[in-house]
Chains A and B, each alone.
Chain A
């Protein structure tokens, strides 16, 4: 099972994976967030990890994730090192969320399953 890490994660984050969840890091240029999800699908990844939670409120990201059956993983921290640490620490929860959750918010002390409909408000 492979998770595509966004380029905002440190290059060394790839080494944090193991047999339960392998990490691959995007390093092929400035594509859009939706294109990253499509690439993850083409690469055979089960999900995409973004640094920071803001991606979860995006309707275009939600639509692409649903269409390509990709789990969106977002760290609550914007800091690359903290994000890498939190993702590495919660590999089991991430692998368990594949196929059951729309998105997973990864905190320093746990994870939180996100349903797209719970994102409140906004006039997009």
Chain B
């Protein structure tokens, strides 16, 4: 078994090779080096990486271009463990870029306070211009006053807790994602941080062990905290930022592949307030559910129709002629436009209290869901379908111009809680861990990020005790919280009203 020193030496060699290969002038060298070094690392190697990166500092000193890339790596990826090596290098070289790098890392709670003090002493002993001193002060002290607009922007980026209010300074800032390292896995962590940097985020590492408390301004209301430790992350951060909310803490499982990492990135993006990530188009090749083509997809059986449309089995049976299902082997199947039409019809019946709303409204709605041309459609209280035309709405059948108040049908996709019946779930997100997309597994609610129907999971869980164990034996890749959620959703699909 390799010792820690052996691993650090091996990682130093790997890193040196990566710095030797990278072009200092093309692309994003720091990210390229990072990808090259972290690709395929084992857990022990990943843990040895930060120290190894610090140790190669003096070795790259003779190659200024590559030294700049290393300093960029240390800053960008918040490699605070390199602080002792940085201080030694600064003491011998007086390199201002290295000082700026160290000043960037200094606020991290993983940095020994004695090292921060030593950094300040080194800065005090250097001959620096006022501007350079301001640049360093902004990085080290959130109460330092910025002397230029650019420095004000820098302070807002480095100290999000100093931002005066929502939406006031977002322009020009990058989103900040904090990665809590309690219970995480170093090999996965480095890859995820690479993904985040590639997506334009600023990454703030929260080490499992703190050597000092973080300054209050280091975090703030706009930061998303990715955590593998559940409430423990909230508990230890809450005292240091009064404006952080539960919504900022994103629980994570350890993604096992490229697709689940992409899914995690999208979850992070959705949780961000203010600046967002730059995420490439979804490589999973799933079209937007609200695009016209998606309305033609799907094959929902009767139970899925009843659950997702908020209808009843008896109603669906009665509307069979109006909805024209496909038939195979005695089974009936409906497409997504028919599902949305039925959901709209049910919504409108409940909204207006007109439970005998004419079924020809339903045929009209089916015609407009996913039609060739996007059309604004409305339904009146007496059951007429209206179509947007010019400045107003006209009756779909008579062409008569109608001017009256109506309810926006966007609400159809929100969860419905009318009457004493079971609530109708939201589309496309019936629950926290399930999604509906008519192009994925025919549209049945599936566990988010997996092609596994909630109803299949619920069916397994119904077979007896030890529900989670039974499901995990069949689908070991699905995290437990998602299984519990899918059992609830799948149970409602299997036993609709």
Contacts and interface: CB of A to CB of B under 8 A. Distances in A.
Contact of A10 (B298, B327, B474): B474
B475 interface: yes
Contacts of B473: 10
B335 A28 contact: no
Task: Give the size category of A's interface with B.
Answer: 35 or more
A31 B327 contact: no
Contacts of A88: none
A29 B449 contact: yes
B328 A57 contact: yes
Nearest to A39: B285
Interface centre among A11, A29, A53, A121 (most CB of B within 10 A): A29
Contacts of A120: 326-328
Interface stretch (A14-22, A73-81, A89-97): A73-81
Contact of A54 (B260, B284, B301, B451): B301
A65 to B, nearest CB: 14
Nearest to A123: B324
Given A35-B286, A36-B451, A54 B333 contact: yes
B452 A7 contact: yes
B324 A30 contact: no
Nearest to B472: A11
Interface centre among B297, B328, B446, B460 (most CB of A within 10 A): B328
A51 interface: yes
A10 B475 contact: yes
B284 A124 contact: no
Nearest to B494: A78
Contacts of A11: 474-477
Contacts of B324: 121-123
A29 B262 contact: yes
Interface string B286-321: 110000000011111100000000000000000000
A28 B257 contact: yes
Interface of B: 257-260, 262-263, 284-287, 296-301, 324-329, 331, 333, 335, 338, 366, 435, 437, 439-442, 444, 446, 448-453, 455-456, 459-460, 473-477
Question: Closest 5 A-B residue pairs measured CB to CB?
Answer: A29-B259, A122-B326, A54-B299, A7-B451, A35-B285
27 contacts: A8-B441, A10-B475, A28-B259, A29-B257, A29-B258, A29-B450, A30-B437, A30-B440, A31-B259, A32-B284, A32-B286, A33-B439, A34-B439, A35-B286, A38-B285, A54-B299, A54-B300, A60-B297, A78-B455, A80-B456, A80-B459, A119-B328, A121-B327, A122-B327, A123-B338, A124-B296, A124-B335
Given A28-B258, A51-B456, A54-B333, 12 more contacts: A8-B453, A31-B285, A33-B442, A53-B331, A54-B301, A58-B297, A78-B455, A81-B460, A119-B326, A120-B326, A122-B325, A123-B338
